[in-house]
Chains A and B, each alone.
Chain A
Amino acid sequence: GEDVEQSLFLSVREGDSSVINCTYTDSSSTYLYWYKQEPGAGLQLLTYIFSNMDMKQDQRLTVLLNKKDKHLSLRIADTQTGDSAIYFCAESMRYGGSQGNLIFGKGTKLSVKP
């Protein structure tokens, strides 16, 4: 079955690092994603990682993928108040000839305290 799980809340102080964790169940996932949703807005793709990679770094963002444990994490360095948002982990598979739809977790609400 398809299921993506993440903790619901995370609170950090400004300047600290934030680590948001996610587990997924489908080993056929080809891409894994992190999306950011600010209040009242749509989803913004932050970063993604292909399933044959272990790590991807993009400025303040570091994604780690442990395929054996089906564990994905997003680390935000030097967290700012503007990073306060809900972060969604998502996976997609490719089946047949069609593009897979995205399977989302419930989201982790990140609160950054000044």
Chain B
Amino acid sequence: NAGVMQNPRHLVRRRGQEARLRCSPMKGHSHVYWYRQLPEEGLKFMVYLQKENIIDESGMPKERFSAEFPKEGPSILRIQQVVRGDSAAYFCASSAMGRGPSFDEQFFGPGTRLTVL
């Protein structure tokens, strides 16, 4: 019963290139969250998606960043024209229920560490 999987674990890009980060949620989970952790900082929420829908993207920069969670396949966080300030660890989490009053744990993946040269 695999947990949340992210790949690649480490990604190096030069300024101006594109970065694509993938997240496969736990089996049976249809809610995905992306967080960014800058060095020496806590995690900051970026975007919350359900299958084929973006529910909350209030934490995502307006330019260069996009996210999707298609009907089939992993969720993708895409960063176009990367800059040095994008260097961070990007974590994906998934949960089962999303909506509703009950506690719904978010399970985290191991993260993708992006380095922009």
Contacts and interface: CB of A to CB of B under 8 A. Distances in A.
- The DSSP consensus for interface residues of chain A is strand
Contacts of B25: none
Contacts of B106: 45, 102
A42 B98 contact: no
Contact of A104 (B44, B100, B101, B105): B44
A106 B59 CA distance: 17
Interface stretch (B67-75, B78-86, B108-116): B108-116
Given A42-B111, A43-B91, A105 B59 contact: no
Range, interface on chain A: 20 to 34
Interface string B29-59: 0010101000011111100100000011001
B45 A102 contact: yes
Contacts of A42: 4, 91, 108-111
Range, interface on chain B: 20 to 34
A90 to B, nearest CB: 8
A5 to B, nearest CB: 10
Contacts of B105: 45, 48
A40 B10 CA distance: 11
B103 A31 contact: yes
Interface of B: 4, 31, 33, 35, 40-45, 48, 55-56, 59, 91, 93, 95, 97-101, 103-111
12 contacts: A31-B103, A42-B91, A44-B108, A48-B105, A88-B43, A97-B99, A98-B55, A99-B97, A99-B100, A102-B33, A106-B41, A107-B42
